[in-house]
Chain A
Amino acid sequence: MNEVTSEEQGDFTVVRLSGEVDLSWSQQVRQAILDALEREAGVGVELSAVSYIDSSGIAALVEGFQNARQNGRRFALVAVSQAVMAVLELARLDRVFPIVADVEAARAV
């Protein structure tokens, strides 16, 4: 099931994605991440249940990361699934994003 949910944990928001992130709804994903960055000082995008991601999904993550950096917010990819990792590696972006194992580690970024 394609789904995006946001969970506020104090000054940190976890944006959870699941399903196949593609062009049909990547705009929604982008908006959810940008909204979370408006609200809180830190955002972790949880990707453990993402079975597929295309370049428009990657673009949403890139935009969130750039936005966070410009505004001095924390940003990390959390619990990245194998499928997403393969695409990040393919795009040579695996060393660009902070990638962490769990939400605790993301708060510390």
Chain B
Amino acid sequence: MTPSTATMLARAAQGDDARAFALLADLSEALAESLDLRQTLTQALNRIADYMEAEAASLFLLDAATGLLECKVCVGPVDLTGLTLSMEQGVVGLAATENAVQIVADAQTDPRVHKRMDAETGFVTRSLLCAPLTTANGPIGVLELINRKSGAPFDATDAGILRLLAAPAALAINNARMARELIEQQRLKREFDLARRLQKSLLPKRRRAGFPLLAVNVPAHEISGDFYDYFDLPDGRIGFVIGDVSGKGLDAALLMTRAASLLRWAGKDGLAPSEWLRRANDELCQTTQDGRFVCALVGYYARASGQVRLAGAGFPPALLHADGDYAEFRSDGPPLGIVADMTFAETMVTLGSGTLYFFSDGVTDVRTGASRLGNAGVRSLIDRYATLPPEVRLRSMVSELRSLKLVDDTTILLLEEPRAHPPQVLLRRSFAAEPERMRNVRADLRHALDAAQVAPELRDRLVLAVDEACCNIIRHAYRDRAGDITLSLRRDGDVLEFELRDSAPSVDPCTVRPRELGECRSGGLGVAIIDQVMDEWLLQPRRGGSGNVLRMIKRCPQPQEDEA
């Protein structure tokens, strides 16, 4: 048994071995301050070898990936740097596996010694001393001394001292490793961020009002395997793509970027959708490995004729919602990237005044309790928001999907001819976020709603709800600090949309919830009133920077004009 560390320290601190104590202090300091660990370790090993009067010394580190011990630093007549040993080999391996000091007094007869090295190098090993480099998570390497110069074997006292000297080396190496892992994690995070930004930049920009396609993509994780695209052809048709790459994570994301650009490239030639998919499939088959594949749906919309021509590759059916009825359009081509030379069927859809929805399977896979949302769930989701203008509708659908559990990336693409009457701005004004301003704001809003022929009873409720929302911004978002609020009121068909923008610190929408009405207490009534008066409301942080946007929707049919 080797003496305990405390005993060794006590012994080293007094009498003959005070030198060992000084060396330990020196080594600890040098290793702790080291900027170049390899160089410092080499110097440390030299000093240890000198102090212990050893002919040779080496430091082995354990590679967690391979389970091998590799000689990193070496002092003595034979250079072992780069030599690897398995954990089962020799005294070095034994020190690591048993996490204990090993003393070999006579190397020539000791069965623990691995004899091959001597045979190869011509070096004669007489005595050995090995100490593990120990950390809280087990040994990370071994410090080995070979042959005392005096010829005497290493003993228990030497073992104790070496164990002491190994401690600061283990600590320094472990710290350096943890620092390197941290840097690696930060590098990975930067790369993920870059991948996410790159992906977002591949998605087309939202077009001005009047463009018939609108899409939204909600990644379940940091990066997405879903994509969509739309573009104009010279002949006036509009091409569109929606797709979904199998698998998740970085390599799925990389395949997504390739599939997205490939499908755009093939679609811009104005080929028939079946040919478009065939070309993309053949190209993907040449390069896609590991069983990954791409599900996609592509098509053209000819605005003049109102016809949509599409083809699918393993993608869920398109859903047409027109006059309160639903129709599914399947096009069951195989997913892309599996087998080349496949053919794809086409489908024609007459859009008319209807809406065509394309959902990635992430939508039907959304969890509602223990079951999936499914086709029926998707239809009732559309029903709930069908009368809203497309942008608000998609936003409302996504916010409802978000409140359920997303298990997969979720993408919705919507195709619909814009209504004949574009949204009309009824009021727009900015004001300081102060309670004293609200009287005038209410008066302006009352006038605007009167001008829009909103019935007085509803008008007063709407004014109250907007007032409550402003007061909440003043009190809870700005917290009585100075700032502005911008109020806009728009009519879009049968819908009144109230929007409040502020530049206060972002509020977590989850913390804003209505209380039960009819409760006799004085707080939290404002949100309950908003919830009661409005059909929908949605609070979101403003894109890029601080601030919040609150949108409130109220269905309010336009008064019928007299024909006479």
Pairwise interchain contact A83-B468, C-beta atoms closer than 8 A: no
Could you say which of B438, B467, B533 contacts A90, with CB atoms under 8 Å apart? B533
Pairwise interchain contact A93-B471, C-beta atoms closer than 8 A: no
A55 to B457, CA, bound (A): 17
0/1 interface trace, chain B 19-60, chain A, CB 8 Å (1 if under) = 000000000000000000000000000000000000000000
Pairwise interchain contact B529-A91, C-beta atoms closer than 8 A: yes
Could you say which of B434, B438, B520 contacts A96, with CB atoms under 8 Å apart? B520
A62 to B521, CA, bound (A): 6
- Which residues of the partner chain B approach A52 to less than 8 Å between Cβ atoms? 442, 464
Report B516 CB to chain A, min CB distance, Å. 9
In the complex formed, the residue of B with least CB distance to A26 is B435
- Which residues of the partner chain B approach A91 to less than 8 Å between Cβ atoms? 517-518, 525, 528-529
Could you say which of A54, A63, A96 contacts B522, with CB atoms under 8 Å apart? A63
Report A32 CB to chain B, min CB distance, Å. 16
Q: Which residues of A in the span 62-109 have a Cβ within 8 Å of any Cβ on B? A: 62-63, 65-66, 83, 86-87, 90-93, 95-96
Q: A56 an interface residue at 8 Å Cβ cutoff?
A: yes
A62 to B518, CA, bound (A): 11
- Which residues of the partner chain B approach A58 to less than 8 Å between Cβ atoms? 522, 525
Binds B, one of A5-13, A16-24, A42-50: A16-24
Pairwise interchain contact A93-B520, C-beta atoms closer than 8 A: yes
Pairwise interchain contact B523-A59, C-beta atoms closer than 8 A: yes
- Which residues of the partner chain A approach B522 to less than 8 Å between Cβ atoms? 58-60, 62-63, 66
In the complex formed, the residue of B with least CB distance to A27 is B435
- Which residues of the partner chain A approach B421 to less than 8 Å between Cβ atoms? none
Pairwise interchain contact A59-B525, C-beta atoms closer than 8 A: yes
Q: Which residues of B in the span 424-478 have a Cβ within 8 Å of any Cβ on A? A: 434-436, 438-439, 442, 457, 460-461, 464, 467-468, 471, 474-475
Pairwise interchain contact A92-B471, C-beta atoms closer than 8 A: no
Q: B299 an interface residue at 8 Å Cβ cutoff?
A: no
In the complex formed, the residue of A with least CB distance to B457 is A86
How many inter-chain residue pairs (CB < 8 Å) link A and B? 68
Pairwise interchain contact A90-B464, C-beta atoms closer than 8 A: yes
- Which residues of the partner chain A approach B435 to less than 8 Å between Cβ atoms? 22-24
Number of interface residues of A (CB under 8 A): 24
- Which residues of the partner chain A approach B439 to less than 8 Å between Cβ atoms? 20, 22, 24
A59 to B525, CA, bound (A): 8
In the complex formed, the residue of A with least CB distance to B468 is A55
Report B95 CB to chain A, min CB distance, Å. 74
Tell me whether A24 and B518 are in contact in the complex, defined as CB-CB below 8 angstroms, given that A55-B526, A90-B533, A91-B529 are known contacts.
Answer: no
Could you say which of A22, A55, A62 contacts B520, with CB atoms under 8 Å apart? A62
Report A71 CB to chain B, min CB distance, Å. 16
Report A53 CB to chain B, min CB distance, Å. 9
Could you say which of A24, A55, A86 contacts B438, with CB atoms under 8 Å apart? A24
- Which residues of the partner chain A approach B434 to less than 8 Å between Cβ atoms? 24
Report B331 CB to chain A, min CB distance, Å. 50
Report A79 CB to chain B, min CB distance, Å. 19
- Which residues of the partner chain A approach B436 to less than 8 Å between Cβ atoms? 24
A35 to B173, CA, bound (A): 72
- Which residues of the partner chain A approach B474 to less than 8 Å between Cβ atoms? 23
Pairwise interchain contact B525-A86, C-beta atoms closer than 8 A: no
A92 to B515, CA, bound (A): 12
A96 to B517, CA, bound (A): 11
Q: B532 an interface residue at 8 Å Cβ cutoff?
A: yes
A20 to B195, CA, bound (A): 54
Known pairs A22-B435, A24-B435, A24-B439. 19 more at Cβ < 8 A?
A: A22-B439, A23-B435, A23-B438, A54-B464, A54-B467, A54-B468, A54-B526, A55-B468, A56-B471, A59-B522, A59-B523, A62-B520, A66-B521, A90-B464, A90-B529, A90-B533, A92-B518, A95-B518, A96-B520
Q: Name B residues whose Cβ lies closer than 8 Å to a Cβ of A.
A: 434-436, 438-439, 442, 457, 460-461, 464, 467-468, 471, 474-475, 517-518, 520-523, 525-526, 528-529, 532-533
Subset of 30 A-B contacts with CB under 8 Å: A20-B442, A22-B435, A22-B439, A22-B467, A23-B438, A23-B474, A24-B434, A24-B435, A52-B464, A54-B464, A54-B467, A55-B525, A55-B526, A55-B529, A58-B522, A58-B525, A59-B522, A59-B525, A62-B522, A63-B522, A65-B520, A66-B522, A86-B460, A87-B529, A90-B461, A90-B464, A90-B517, A93-B520, A95-B518, A96-B520
Q: Name A residues whose Cβ lies closer than 8 Å to a Cβ of B.
A: 20, 22-24, 52, 54-56, 58-60, 62-63, 65-66, 83, 86-87, 90-93, 95-96
Top-5 shortest CB links A-B = A92-B518, A59-B522, A24-B435, A23-B435, A55-B525
